[in-house]
Amino acid sequence: MLSTSCRACGTQVLGYCLMPNHVHPILVRGDELGLRDALGEAHRRYTRRINFREGWRGHLWQERFHSFVMDERHLIAAARSVERNPVRARLSGRPQDWPWSSARAHLAAADDEIVSVRPLLELVSDQDRFIGEPDGTDIADLRGSRFGEKARLAARGKGTG
């Protein structure tokens, strides 16, 4: 559902991980409304399907999705965190063993039915090491830092008035 909605809205999926009670997508919008439209449609379809199957009514999601701009360093750390999430949650011994994530596609350097691997692979020289090593400080350093390098943001801000 997510991949269909993203394609229809011109939104690119760079990484993802479906966990038992939540999902982590890393998306790049094609236009101003791409994320809203893609995720909104995916949520509507999924909610209809589950509500029909279970005989339920109403919302399934607690809150709106979170979105923010990331620089390359933050993107790499976010993708690593997303693909290692099943290992941290003790659901899988290795990221590539979890069938509901982009880890296998990135390690194979081949798109799957959901993810486009090239944008991330162009930023990471050793995908095996990138995914396989235990979590380091890169993720902790970036938590709470929504956008990335402050100097780069300051430079961008000067040009936007």
pLDDT higher at 137 or 85: 85
pLDDT higher at 65 or 105: 105
Spatial CB neighbours of 79, under 8 Å, sequence gap ≥ 6: 14, 15, 26, 102, 106, 120
pLDDT higher at 32 or 100: 100
Q: What is the pLDDT of residue 85?
A: 95
Render pLDDT for 106-130 as a digit per residue (tens, 0 to 9).
999 999 999 999 999 999 888 777 7
Give the span between the Cα atoms of 143 and 135, in whole angstroms: 13
Q: Rounded to an integer, what is the distance from CA 13 to the centroid of its chain?
A: 7
Please determine, for residue 67, whether its predicted confidence score (pLDDT) is greater than 90: no
CATH architecture of the domain 2-155 equals: 2-Layer Sandwich (3.30)
Please determine, for residue 62, whether its predicted confidence score (pLDDT) is greater than 90: no
Please determine, for residue 104, whether its predicted confidence score (pLDDT) is greater than 90: yes
Average pLDDT over residues 83-90: 96
Neighbours of 93 (CB within 10 A): 10
Residue listed under structure tokens 């009670």: 21
Q: Which amino acid is at 95?
A: P
The torsion angle over the Cα atoms of residues 91, 20, 119 and 156, rounded to 10 degrees, is: -110
Render pLDDT for 3-37 as a digit per residue (tens, 0 to 9).
999 999 999 999 999 999 888 999 999 888 888 89
Q: Are 131 and 92 in contact (CB under 8 A)?
A: no
Q: What is the pLDDT of residue 144?
A: 55
Mean pLDDT, all residues of the chain: 84
Give the span between the Cα atoms of 96 and 103, in whole angstroms: 5
